[in-house]
Chain A
């Protein structure tokens, strides 16, 4: 069985902050990493590889040159090989473009029985790419996957639909969106990442994707970031005075005002 996991190189979401003085999101000089949700997808695939007899596992990552280190970390989790789409794309808000790049990359590498994605990405949180990719590849899409049982011709997956756990079966090949609750992804050690040699990390140039230089824009979905503003949750620190009954009534009133009751 061949598995390709799509992983995204993102700026660490826990380090991003809003700079009130400058009125902008601080993104520069921040650590970058594999999108957390994609690590769940890689983990799920690595488990299949560990359990299966003849599973070939590759990771395809989109991102700039800095993504090579991130890709090595993804490969160190247990993939056979990783590919970086050169000159890639790092716009968190255009999932359609991401899906189109990935679809071409997957076709360029060699088709896979299972294409696995994180349910959402750590930066854009769109939850669209996997489904769009399935549409481009013309195959079923199962999500949010919390359990997985691949067969010869079909795959059986358990989907967490909130109030219901539904187990479904669909023919291969197909695309899966892995839920973050499915597993706890392993964290490769620094030594394990260092041990990923150059021959396990390849690049895909635009020509490999059948694109002329500078033609990446053709794949754009037409979404652009037009403005940013603060959304900081500064706590209000309102002290409710008075006796217990009084203060309690004031709190209930305030919480109603907030719309949380």
Chain B
């Protein structure tokens, strides 16, 4: 029985997600949200921001534990703060996935002697009061259910979305700063500006040899912009015509994508190309050849001239937003 649950996350959206997961769990009596505060801390950079946290988890958490976390978000400090908050007995700790959250979850599991599961999509309680975690396993081949037969349990939730609730802010309780026996000094910090990131892109619009000439690729630009997508291409575009640099190549000899949406424009779908789009969640294709292999490897297919479909898509998206 998970009577007391502590939740924490590196950002407000994540915190709402785990707080909601905890609140809706059978048998939960008390949900406490831990917020690390600090000079430039990711979660709650100032007192005012702690208020923001309290508002965000209003109706979900019973209390916000505000805990000084130092200069930057650190997994070891986070784990120590969670460990102190857990003193006096806790049944589960829910965290939202982030690099520091993984460290916190790993450390905390050892410190508390807890059962630990990551990549959780959904958590429920079985008849014996043990937590059941649903997550994808074996690289997404199957959906698995894990039973956490030990209390407390530490669950690291996969990223997700949840709607904001309208409720009174949760009360805030100040806690003491935790101690960590070593220093991790920040030497330098660079903001990353990635030019082409196909593997990391959430949406990819890819162009193939359905385009008649290099200048025609410009036609796809408004669509790329409207979808806030990364531009990819098939092998002939990068290697035969060299209309686009090879870093935009999707497929066996280029990048593999993991995007939510993969939109293939005028791509026939040779095996080399299909290999690279297996990881995409939704594949849509525009191709006027009903026999092209991409047709059997897409979720949505528009069998028409891409020169007509692309402007129509841009218009439809414009109307939608």
Contact = CB atoms under 8 A, between A and B. Distances in A.
Contacts of A133: 106
Interface residues of B, number: 78
A225 B146 contact: yes
B292 interface: no
B303 A239 contact: yes
B295 interface: yes
A93 B144 contact: yes
A248 B141 contact: no
A46 interface: no
Contact of B301 (A222, A232, A240): A240
A67 interface: no
B184 A227 contact: no
A140 B184 contact: yes
A235 B312 contact: no
A29 interface: no
Contacts of B184: 140, 142, 168-170
Given A144-B99, A251-B316, A96 B109 contact: yes
Q: Is the interface of A mostly helix, strand, loop or mixed?
A: mixed
Contacts of A16: 138-139, 141
A165 B309 contact: no
Interface string A153-185: 000100111111111111100000000000000
Interface in A70-93: 92-93
B186 A238 contact: no
A170 to B, nearest CB: 5
Q: Is the interface of B mostly helix, strand, loop or mixed?
A: mixed
A163 B76 CA distance: 21
A167 B106 contact: no
Contacts of B137: 25, 92-93, 124, 225, 228
B316 A252 contact: yes
A132 B106 contact: yes
B185 interface: yes
A128 B283 contact: no
B90 interface: no
A230 to B, nearest CB: 6
Contacts of A163: 191-192
A237 B119 contact: no
B192 A165 contact: yes
Contacts of A162: 99, 192
B279 to A, nearest CB: 9
Contact of B187 (A99, A169, A227, A256): A169
Contacts of B203: 260
A223 B304 CA distance: 51
Among A164, A166, A244, the most chain B Cβ lie within 10 Å of the Cβ of: A244
A226 interface: yes
A252 B76 contact: no
Closest 10 CB pairs of A and B: A131-B106, A222-B150, A248-B312, A222-B115, A244-B308, A132-B106, A227-B145, A135-B110, A135-B107, A260-B261
13 contacts: A16-B139, A95-B118, A141-B76, A164-B190, A166-B189, A226-B132, A231-B143, A233-B278, A238-B300, A244-B311, A245-B315, A247-B304, A248-B315
Given A136-B110, A224-B146, A248-B309, 20 more contacts: A99-B106, A125-B119, A127-B156, A141-B103, A163-B191, A166-B72, A223-B116, A224-B147, A230-B142, A231-B143, A233-B140, A235-B296, A237-B296, A237-B299, A245-B316, A247-B309, A248-B313, A249-B312, A252-B320, A258-B282
